[in-house]
Structure 1
Amino acid sequence: MTKIIMETSVVDDIPILSIFQEKLYSCPLVFFIHGYGADREQAIDFGYMLAKKGFYYVSMDCKGHGERKGKNESNKFHQVFPRDTGLDTYVHMHEVIEQSAIDIQNLIEYFKGKERIDTNKIGISGFSMGGYASFYISANNPDIKVAIPIAGKPSFTKSWLDTITSTATYEQWSTQIQDAVKEVEKRTEYFQMIDPFDKLSGFFPKPLLIINGDQDIDSPYFYSLELYKKLLPVYSEQPDKFKLSMPFINHQFTYSMKQEACDWFEKHLG
């Protein structure tokens, strides 16, 4: 009978949750990054599903989340926008994403040499903020061999500018947005610096599955569709390694989406 182990630990001040088979070694490693406001336990069932298939699953509390919540953290930007707009939160989310990439690299270094894990086979996935982060990390970390961003956006700059434009259409906020034009420009430069959209062409020929509900209003599918159209010619000679899945769903990570992600990892990383 297969025994699944679930344990928590702290690596380089990063609280992690690991799920794996007790007697299995040289397992492919899959990282999962949770959504904004959630924690490392967000997708325990997904971790269990992957562990049953022979993967070593690791999720972490991202900066300012879970056991890291309330700890001193340095941020690039202070609050300048009306609180109800959510703009400062949106900017902070990307700072969390940027730190998550650093954390994932530190975890990869930690797991190198561990007999339970094959660090030549590393995949990444994440939901919502974790979907954004999966795009970002895949574009910048060559150790990632398979990626499955879920309900995220790959174009950070366009999404930010669209958000600013739409927010400014509200009468109660339009003047404040106009008065904060220099602060908007500073944050736009930041988004341009970390934007993974163009870099993702370099992920080829590694397998990439993008999952984005076609009813999702938090992460509208058209941002993923733009990336899909951009990468279709790049993956034309290996189309089985590239897919955009748009289930009839809103901003959720459903069982069927988890099953699709598990199958993709099993096919391309197992």
Structure 2
Amino acid sequence: MILVDKSNFQNIPFLHLVKEENIDKPLPTCFFIHGFTSAKEHNLHYAYLLAEKGFRVILPDCLEHGERSSGKSEYQLGEVFWKIVLNTIHELSILKGHFEEKGLILSNGIGVAGTSMGGIVTLGALTQYQWISSAVSLMGNPTYVKFAEAQLSQVESLGYELPFSEEEIDQMMKELARYDLSLQPEKLEGRPLMFWHGKRDKVVPFHLTREFYESILPYYESNEDHLLFIEDDKADHKVSRDGVLRLVEWFSKHLSA
């Protein structure tokens, strides 16, 4: 039986899924991050399939999402998008420490994955944490600076006034550069990394992610099975069932105890 436990640690609400017989055992563990305007419960199908394979799975609510929502509109959330992303990266470490203290995580078996904003979080987290053993980005983007610049350009093209001063934008770009995997690909250190992206995605640009994948191929020349890019010709900004199953397959291959 798969147990679903709703819990909270340091004001981070999360769901914890695990097979009943594994509840107290150290296990390979997956942290799964939801997308923009979504919530932890919306990704239970990923967590269930992973838990069935013997993983411990943690689904947190990001800042301003799910149980942590303060009622902001989508536009208002957009204004703090990158604050949410960086905060979630920080909170990953807090949650990992929490489960580590309880002796429930295998230190060489930690996976991080997410959809859209969660994929963006995943790719940024790889620049900060060597303890991530394997990662999956579903519709994510590693090029923080380029993507943020594109977002600002889009706001301006729609006739809106930017809610930031030039100085604030400059400061934000410097901060984002610290988490931008495309600016420091050597931090991957050959770790298993899978991308899934729909070619018709109009929310998170497909081409930026694909270009990044192609740029890191030389880093994986001696370990080609550690890098995979799955492009779906028909998909827009929604993960197909095949994408879900490929994620489970990826972690089963690269995170097994």
State TM-score, norm by structure 1: 0.86
* Contact 2:128/2:179, CA 8 A, preserved across alignment: no
Retained in 2: the 8 A contact 1:31–1:57?
yes
Q: Identity over aligned residues, as a percent? A: 24
The offset of 1:115, in angstroms, is 4.5
AA at the equivalent of 1:45: H
Q: Does 1:149 align with 2:137?
A: yes
Whether contact under 8 Å (1:50, 1:57) holds in the other structure is yes
Alignment check: 8 A CA contact 2:177 2:183 kept = no
Q: Does 1:117 align with 2:78?
A: no
* Matches of 1:22 and 1:62, distance apart in 2: 26
Match of 2:48 in 1: 48
8 Å contact from structure 1 (residues 138, 200) kept in 2: no
Task: Find the partner of 1:214 among 193, 199, 212.
Answer: 199
Q: 2:80 aligns with which of 88, 92, 95?
A: 92
Matched residue of 1:105: which SS? helix
Which residue type is aligned with residue 212 of structure 2? Answer: L
C-alpha contact (below 8 Å) 1:123/1:144 kept by paired residues: yes
Give the corresponding residue for 2:17: 19
**For the aligned residues, what is the CA RMSD?**
2.3
Q: TM-score scaled to structure 2, two decimals? A: 0.90
* CA separation of 1:200 and 1:89: change in aligned 2, threshold 3 A: farther
Aligned residue type for 2:49: M
Worse-superposed segment, 109-118 or 136-145:
109-118
CA 1:117–1:186 in structure 2 vs 1: closer, same or farther (change >3 Å)? closer
Higher mean Cα deviation, 43-52 or 114-123? 114-123
- The gaps in structure 1 that reach 5 residues or longer are 72-82
Please list, as runs of the form range in 1=range in 2, the aligned pairs for 1:126-165 lying within 5 A after superposition.
126-165=114-153
Structure 1 Cα separation of the partners of residues 79 and 144 of structure 2:
10
Q: Is the 8 A contact 1:135 1:200 kept in 2?
A: no
Cα–Cα, structure 1 residues 53 and 190, in superposed 2: closer, same or farther, change >3 Å? same
Query: How many angstroms does 1:199 deviate by?
Result: 2.5
- Higher alpha-carbon Rg: 1
> What does residue range 60-99 of structure 1 map to in structure 2 within 5 Å?
60-70=60-70, 86=75, 89-99=77-87
Shift, 1:181, TM fit: 4.1
CA contact (8 A) 2:62 2:84 kept: yes
Matched, 1:30 2:27: no
Q: Matched residues in 2 for 1:139 and 1:187: separation?
A: 17
Q: Which residue of 1 aligns with 2:174?
A: 189
> 1: CA distance between counterparts of 2:103 and 2:156?
54
| 1:243 Cα deviation from its structure 2 partner | 0.9
Q: Does 1:8 align with 2:6?
A: yes
Q: In the TM superposition, what is the alpha-carbon distance from 1:195 to its structure 2 partner?
A: 2.3
Unaligned runs of 5+ in 2: none
Q: Look up the match of 1:259.
A: 245
* 8 Å CA contact 2:34, 2:114 repeated in 1: yes
Runs of 4+ that moved beyond 6 A: none
2-structure distance, mates of 1:264, 1:193: 27
Report the CA distance between 1:223 and its aligned residue. Answer: 1.1
Q: Which residue of 2 aligns with 1:236?
A: 221
* Corresponding residue pairs, total: 252
Q: Is the 8 A contact 2:127 2:180 kept in 1?
A: no
> Structure 1: how far apart are the matches of 2:138 and 2:167?
33
